[in-house]
Structure 1
Amino acid sequence: MYIKQIIIQGFKSYKDQTIIEPFSPKHNVIVGRNGSGKSNFFAAVRFVLSDDYTQMSREHRQALLHEGSGSAVMSAYVEIIFDNSDDRFPTGKPELVLRRTIGLKKDEYSLDRKNATKADVMNLLESAGFSRSNPYYIVPQGRVTALTNMKDAERLALLKDVAGTQVYEARRTESLKIMHETDNKRTNIDEFLVDIHQRLDELEAEKEQLRVFQDKDRERRCLLYAIDHREQIGIQNELDAIDERRQTGVDGADDDRERFIQGEQEIADLDAEIIELKQQIGFLKVDRTQLEDERRDTARDKAKNELEVKALSEGQSAAQNAKARHDNELREVQENIRRREKELAQIMPEYNAKREQEANIKAQLLDAEGQRKRLYDKQGRTAHFKSKRERDDWLRKEIDAVNMTLATRKAIAMDTNEEIAELQSEIKRLESEVAELRSNIDNQGENSMNIATEIQKARDVRDQLSDQRKELWREEAKLDSVIMNAQQELDKAERFLSHMMDQNTSRGLAAVRRIKRQHDLDGVYGTLAELFEVPDRYKTAVEVTAGNSLFHYVVDNEETATRVLNILQREKAGRVTFMPLNRLKPKPVNIPKASDAVHMITKLQYDPMYENAFQHVFGKTIICPNLQVAAQYARSHAVSAITPEGDRADKKGALTGGYHDPKSSRVDAVRKVVTAREEFETHKTRSSEIKREIEQLDQQITAAVGELRKIDQKKQRLEGNYGTMRQELRSKGDDLQSRKDALEVKQRSAEKIEADLRELGEQQTSYETELASDYKKALTKDEEQQLERLSSTVQDLRRQHSELSAMRSELESRKSEIDVELRENLRPTFDQLTAQENGSSGSGGSSSKLKESQRSLKRITQNMKRSSQSWRRIRSRSSSSSKTLLVLSRRIRGAWK
C-alpha cells in the first residue's frame, strides 16, 4: 500500500486543482524553494489522514480555504488515491480513493467517490494500520529535532507512546476507577438493606396494633347496633302515635291546608299585581320625563319661531313696497327692450337689402372702371411699343405678374373665408351659450323655489324619521326596565328552583340550555317538568311520584345525549341525567279499572311525542283517595299508588308520605322559571328588534341628513353661481359683439378681395385677348364705342352708389344707436333688476323666510299640542296607578294581619 496520486483544490495556497503524481512505492522526496508550498502539501496529507484537523471552528475552516488576490473560494478538498494491491484496505479493490471536502459550514468525507462518515473513514484507516492511539506514522516538521532535544523522561514517555503501552496504562486506570465505583455501590446496597430490615420491624409492630384496633372496633359496632335498635323502637312508637293523631285530625288539616294555599295564592296575585303596577308607574314616569323635555324643547322652538315670524311680518310691508317698485321698473325696462328689439327687427331687413344693393352697385362700378382703365391702358400702350414682339413680350410678363397676384389673392381669399366660417361658428356657439345663460338666469327664481320645496320635503322626512326614532327610544327605555325586572324574576325563580336540587344538577341543566342555544341542537327538548301541565289538585302527587326524574333531560336519541355529555365533561359543567326517547321502552302495566283508582298519566297534558318518557316515569302509578285504598291496589295489582296529598304505597308494601310544603313545590318552581324565561326571551327578542329598527332609522336619518345637505349645497351653489352666470353672460356678450365686429370687417375684406380677383381675372383675359390680336396703333371701333358706354355707365353707377351709401349709412347709424342702447343701457339694467329679484328669492328673502317660519311654527305647535296631551294622559295614568298601588298595599297588610 502506498500513495499513488494526490489532488488538491482550494486548500491554503492551492487555489486551482493541482495533481501530484507519480509517487514511488518506497521513498519520495519533495524539494523546493521557500514559499513553494511544501508545508501546505504536507498539511494537505495530514488534513486527510491525521486527527489534527478534527474539532475546527468557523475561523479555522476559513483559514484552510484559499484567500488570494482574486475572489476567495467557498470550499476546498484534498483527495488521496492509495495503491491497494496488497489489500491493506479491506475493500476488495486495487485502489482506494479518499477525499475530504471542507467549507465554511461543511466538513465531509467520501470513499471511492461515495459519501462516508468520519467514523467509517477512521475505522478503515485503523484497519490499514493508521492507529489513532499511536499517531506516529506521520512525522511533522520539527518533530525529529524535538526528539533529539528531549529529556530522558520525556523520551521514555515517547517510546512508550510509540510502542503502544499507553493504551494499557489508560485501561488500568479505567479498571481501577470501575472497581472503586463498584465498592461504593456495594456500600450503598448494604445501607439500604439495613433500612429495609428496620422498616419491617416497624410494620410488624403496626400489624399488632391493627389487630387490637379491629377487635375494639368490632366491639364498638356491636354496642352501636344495640343503641340504634333501642332508638329505632322508640321512634317507631312515636311514629305510630303521630300517625294516629294525624288520622284523627286529617279533615281539619285538609281544610286548613286549602285555606292556607288559597291565602298564599291571593298574596302571590297581589304581589304580581303590585310589581306590574310599579313597573307601569316607572314606565309612566319615564314617559312623563321624556315628554316634559320634549314639550320644553318644543315650547322653546315655538317661541323662537314666533319671534322670527313677528320680525318678518313687520318688515313685510316695506319689502312688498320695494318689490312693487322693483316690478314696475322691471316691466318698464322689459317694455323698452321689446320696443327697441322690434325697431331693430324692422330696420335690419332694409339695412341688409341696402347693404346688398350697395355691394352689387359697387361691384358693377369696379368692373366698369376696370374695363375702362384697361381700354385706356391699351390705347396708351400703342405708343410705347415699336413692334408686335415687344408688345407680346410685355403682355406675357404682365400675364405672369397677374397670375402671381391672382394666386396670392386666392390664398388670401381662402384664409379669409376660413376665418369668416370660424367666426360664424364661434358667433353661433356664443349666441347659443348666451341664450342658455339667459334661460338659466331667467329660471333662477323658479329653481330657487324648487330647491326650497325640496329642502322642506327633506326636512319633513328627517323630522318624521326622528319622531319615529324617539318613539322607539321611549319603547327601548321601557323595555330595558321590563327586561331588568324580567331578568330579576328569572334569576329569583332559578335560584328558588336550584335550592330544590343539588348544585351539580343545577349547573348541568344551565349548561345544557346554553349548549343547546350555542350549537342549535334540535333534539334537546327540555327537562321532564317543563314538558307537561298538571291540575293543582294532583300537583303534589306528581312531584312525589317523579322525584328527581322531574329534572331529567328529554332528548330524541342517545347520539344527541352523547354529544351533549361530551361537551359537559369537556367543560366540567355539572351532571345531568338524559332520557333518550328511542331507548325508553315502557312495559305494559295492569291498571285497575275503578272509580277510586285514577291512572296518573291521564291527568297530565303533554305532547304525544314525549309519550315514552311520561310512560316510563308515571305509567305505573295510580291516584287513590286515601292511603288505605292505595295500599290495597298496590298489593293487588303490583302498581304504585299515591294519594293527592303525597302519601304513597308501592307493590312491596312500603308506605311513605308526610307533610309537603306547598311553597316548596318543584312543579310550581319549574312553572315560574318557564314563565319567567319565556317572558324574558319575549322582551329580549323585542328589544333586539327595536335595536335593529333604530339602526335602520339611524341609517335612514343619516341618508336624509345627507340628502338635505346635498340640496342645501345645491342651493348654495345656485346662489353662488348666479353672480358668476351674470359675469359670464356679460363676458360672453362682449365676446359675441367683438366677434360680430370682426366678422363684419372680415366680410368687407372678403368682398374687396373678391372684387380684386374679378378685376385681375378680367385684366388677365384682356391681356390674353390682346396677345392673340394683331398689333395696331389704335383701338378698334368696337372698343372705342365700348369705352364711351363705360364712361356713361361709370357715372350712373357712381351716382347710384353714392345714394345707396348715404341710405345705408343712415340705417347703420340707427342700428348702431339701438345696439348701443340695448347693450350698454337696457340689458344691463334688466340684468341688474333680475339679479336683485333672483338674489332676494334665491338667498332666502323675507317672503320665503316668512313662509318657511310660518310652516315651522305650525308644525311645532302641532307637536307641542300632541306632546301636552300625551303628558297629561300619562300623568293621569300615573296618578291612577299610584292610587291602585296604595290600595293593594293596604290589602296585603290586612291579609297578613
Structure 2
Amino acid sequence: ILGFKSFPEATRVDLDTGITAIVGPNGSGKSNVTDAIRWGLSEQSAKILRGQRMSDMIFSGTAQRRAMSYAEVILTFDNSKRVFDLDYDTVSISRRYHRSGESEYFINKTACRLKDVNTLLVDTGIGLDGYSIVGQGKIDEILNERSDDRRLIFDEASGIVQFKSRKAESERRLERANQNLLRVDDILEELRRQAGPLKKQAEDARRYSELNDRYRKLDISLSWMQIKDFEKQAAEAENNQNIAALELIDAEAALTAINKNNSRLDDEIAELEITMESERKAHNELSVKLADTTGAIALSREKESSSEERMQQLEDEKLRLNEQISILANTVIDRQERHSQLEKQCKSYEGRLQEAKEALAEAVSGLSKSEKETDDLKRSREDLKDNLFQVNSDLQTAKAENSFLQDHLNTSSAELSGDQSDLNRAIFALEEVSAQLEELQAELVQFEQAAEEMKAVRVKAEEKLEDIDQSIIQLKDSERQRAYEEDTLSRLEQSFEGYQKPVKDLMQAIRHKEELRTGVVGPLGSLLNIPEDLALAVDVALGAMVHNIVCDTEDTAKTLIGFLREQNLGRVTFLPQAALQVNKIGRGSLDTLRTEKGFVGLASDLIKIRPGLENVLDFALGRVLIADSLDDAIKIARKSGRKYRIVSRSGDIMYPGGSMSGGSLSNRQSGLAGRPARIRALQEERLDIGKKIANIESEYNAALDQLHLAAANEEDSLNRLSQKRSVFAESEFDYKSKDNHLTALKNSVYKRQSAIEKTKEQIDSSQAAYQDAELKSASLRDQIASLDDKIARA
C-alpha cells in the first residue's frame, strides 16, 4: 500500500495461511487495510470506501508530511493451484490513481483494462460481487435480502457467475446479431428493390463508360490534333518571334545608326551654325568694308574728277598764259620790229614800260594769292567731301541694317502671327478636348455606376439563387430523411418489429402460411390511425393491448392458439371481433364531462380504425378519457366518481377507483400505436415537400434566368465601360498632347515676341543712327555748297 488514505509510505501486509488479525486503537487505520484490498479489487464506489470522491483515497497530507500525488495498491496472490486462469505461480493485481483523475490497472505489471481485472476475478470468490470481504453489517444485510438476492451469493460461491455472465454476454451478442440480421434483411430488401433501378443504372453506366471511352479517344485525338496545330502555331510564332527579334535588332542597329547620324548632324548643324554665325559676322564686316571701299572709290572718283577739273583749269590757265605770252611775244616782236622805229621812242616809253612791268608784277603777285586761297578752299571742300562720303557710307550701312532688321521684323511678325493663329487654334482645340474629356469623365462615371449596379444585381441574383439552392437542398434532405424514416417504419410495420416476440413470430407465420391467414386482421397497433398530438396518450392508454391480434371469431383465435402451443411460440392475446362485449361510456356522461376544463374527449372517438372494426376500437378505448394535463384528469376523475380511466397528453393515468400512474417515459414519443399514423404523416409531409420542391425549382429556374440576364447585362456594361475607358484614355492622351503643344506654342510666341521687341529696339537704334547720318550729310552738303560758292566767287 502506497499513498492510500493513511499510508503515505510503502506498507507491506502479509496474509499467511490461517487467520491474520490486525489490532490497534480507533483511528489507527485498520479499516483502511480492508478498504485498500477492496479498492485494489477495482471498487468504483467512493461511498463504499467511506469517501465522497475517488480523490479522497489519496493521502491528503499532514502538518509534518506533504500530500501524495497518487495512490497505489498491489495485491499479490499465490496461484500455485491455478485459482486464476494464468500460467503463473503468483499473480499481482495493481491499481494506481492520480489526483488528475487518471486511473491505471496492471496484471503482473502489465497494463490492462478494468474489464480484464473483473474477468480475471470472475468465479474465484475474490471479486467484489462475492463475499470474500465481509464488512460491518454485511451479515445482517445478507439475512435480510430476498431469496433472489441471496441466490447470487450461492452462485458466486458455486462458481457459476462466470457462466451466467458469459450467457448474458452471449445473449446480448445474439440480440445484436438478430438486430444486425434484421438490418441485413432490411438492407437486402432495400437492395432487392433497388436492383432493378441499379441494373438500369448499371446499363446506363456501361453505356456511359463506352461513350466516355469513345469520347476520351475522340477527345484525345482532337487534343492531339489541337496540340499539333498549337505546336505548328507555336513554331510559326517562334519563327515570327525570331524574325521580329532580328528585325528588332536591325531596327535597333538602324536606330543606333540614325541616332549617331542625328548626333553627327546635330554636331554639323552646331558647327554650321557657328560657321554661319562667323560667316554672318564676316559678311557684316565685308559689308562694312564694301561700304567703306565704295565710299573710298566714290571719294577717289570725286578726287579724280576734281583733279581733272583742276588740270583743265590749269590747262586753260596755261593756254591763257601762253596766249598772253604769244601776245606779249608778238608785242615784243612788234616792238622789236618797231624797236628800230620806236627805238627812239624807247627811251620815252622805258619809263612807261617800267611802270607797266611794275603793274604787271603787282598783278601777278595778286593772282598767286587768290589761287592759294582757292586751293585752300578746294582742299577744305575735298575734306568735307571725304567726310560726306564717310557719312554717306554710314548712312548706307544704317539703311541696309535698318532694311535687314525691318525684313527680319516683318518675317518675325508674320511668324508670330502664324504662331498666334496656331496658339488660338490650339487653345480652341484644347478647350474642345477638355470639354469632351469632361463629358467622357461624366459618361465614364455613369458607366461605372451602371457597372456597379449591374454587379449588385448579379450578386443579388447569385445570393437569391444560392438561397433557393440551399432551400432545395434542405427540402431534398428533409424529403430523403422522411422517405428513409417512412421506408424504415414501413419495413418495421411489415415485419412487425417492436411487437412482442410471440406476436411477431405468429404474424410472420401467418404471412407465410395461407391456412392461418383466414380471419386474421392483424395487431391492434397496426390498425389504428392516431393524431400526432394524441399518440403518446393513446399508446399509454392501450398499454399491452397494442400487441393484441384482432381476428373475426373465437374459432380463428382458437386455431391460432393451438398453433402457438404446437410451435412453442409463447402466448398471445386475441380480440375476436364477433365475441367482444363493448361497454362504451354513454353520451350523457360525456356531455356532462365535456364542460370540464381540459377535457379532450373519449379516446375511441378521437382516433380512427380500419372500417368495420369500430367495435374493436370501442372495446379497447371505449371507456378511456383523454385530458390535457394531470390536474385536469384529477378534476375530471372527481366529477365522474372515478369510474373511468383518464389519460393526460403527457401519459399520466388516473385509474378507476382512484389509483394513479405517471412519471418519466423512456424517450418515446409514440410507440407501436402511433406508427401507422406516423407513416401516413410522413407520406403527406413528403408529398408537401415534393410540391414545395417543384415550386422552388421553378423559382430556381426563374432565378437562374435572372442570373444569366444579370450576368449578360453586367458583361455588356463592363464591355461598354472598357470601351469608354479606352476612349477616355485616348482623349486624355490627346488632351495631354494638345496641352504640351499649347505650352510649346506659348513658349515659341513668347520667344518670338521677345525677339521682335529686341529687333524693334535695334530698328529704333538704327533709325536714330540713320537720322544722325542724314543730318551730318545735309550739314556737310551745305558746307560743300558754301565752299563751292566761295570758290566760284574766287
Does TM, normalized by the shorter one, top 0.5?
no
Determine which structure has greater relative contact order: mean sequence separation of CA pairs < 8 Å that are 6+ residues apart, divided by chain length. 1
TM-score scaled by length of structure 2: 0.25
Bigger Rg over Cα:
2
* TM-score between the two structures when normalised by the length of structure 1: 0.22
